[in-house]
Amino acid sequence: MTSSEPQHGKYYPAPIGNEQRAAIRASNADREEAHAFLSAAMSVGALTPEEYTDRAGTALAAVTLAELDALCVDLPMDRLTGAVAEVALNETRVSVSGAAPVTRAVAILSGSEISGGAVVGSSLRAFAFMGGVEIDLREVEFTAPVLEISCTAIMGGIRIVVPSDVTVEAHGSGIMGGFSGRAAGPGRAGAPRIVIRGFALMGGVDTERKARGEHDGPRLPN
């Protein structure tokens, strides 16, 4: 332990080799704290985005403190503790939840919506046929560093609202329709990455960034 160690009760990486510590099971709070260090490491350039993604995914599945320690053992902790302490509570982050993630949204001659405190994992499928799908990710709980959304819109529409601080990639095409990538671009270091793929046939897929609390207009019926 060092003088820069956070207050008692919060996870902090320890040198590998402590057998008693190695057997202690990690809590959700421990995993989130380890992820905060990994996120800070990428923000200062100690980890590449690819290394961060790999380690963050491993941290979410860690069972013991020793597994978390192994992910952080080579990080410059003296430069990261301050960065972790400065992270704002309302920033989009990956967390741990026991709830099952939503994996699809289907609208056939109707409307479907994912928003609020919904839990999302590593993949989500959206299908709209002569209907509308609304996916608002500003308040959802992300449980994986990368969320891939597969979209199919046939004579219908899929609208995806993302938080302002996430990284967004859009790879799709429109046939007598539109597939918009206007929200694509980098986000805050350590925030989740959202990859949107698919196509629109006589319909549309649109993605936009909005801040939390920003008015979003009328909502689709469930």
73 and 112 fall within a common domain: no
| Residue 185: alpha-carbon gap to chain centroid | 15
Where is the domain boundary, 32, 53, 85? 85
What is the span of the domain harbouring residue 137?
102-209
How far apart are the C-alpha atoms of 207 and 111, rounded to whole Å?
17
Highest mean pLDDT among 1-5, 7-11, 36-40, 160-164: 160-164
Q: Is residue 141 part of a domain?
A: yes
Indicate the pTM of the whole model: 0.69
Confidence of residue 203 (pLDDT cuts 50, 70, 90): very high
Domain count, the chain: 2
Q: Is residue 187 part of a domain?
A: yes
Q: Is residue 74 part of a domain?
A: yes
177 and 127 fall within a common domain: yes
Q: What is the pLDDT of residue 155?
A: 94
79 and 107 fall within a common domain: no
Residues 6+ apart with CB under 8 A from 217: none
Q: Is residue 154 part of a domain?
A: yes
Q: What is the pLDDT of residue 4?
A: 42
Confidence of residue 219 (pLDDT cuts 50, 70, 90): low
Average pLDDT on 190-200 reads 90
39 and 68 fall within a common domain: yes
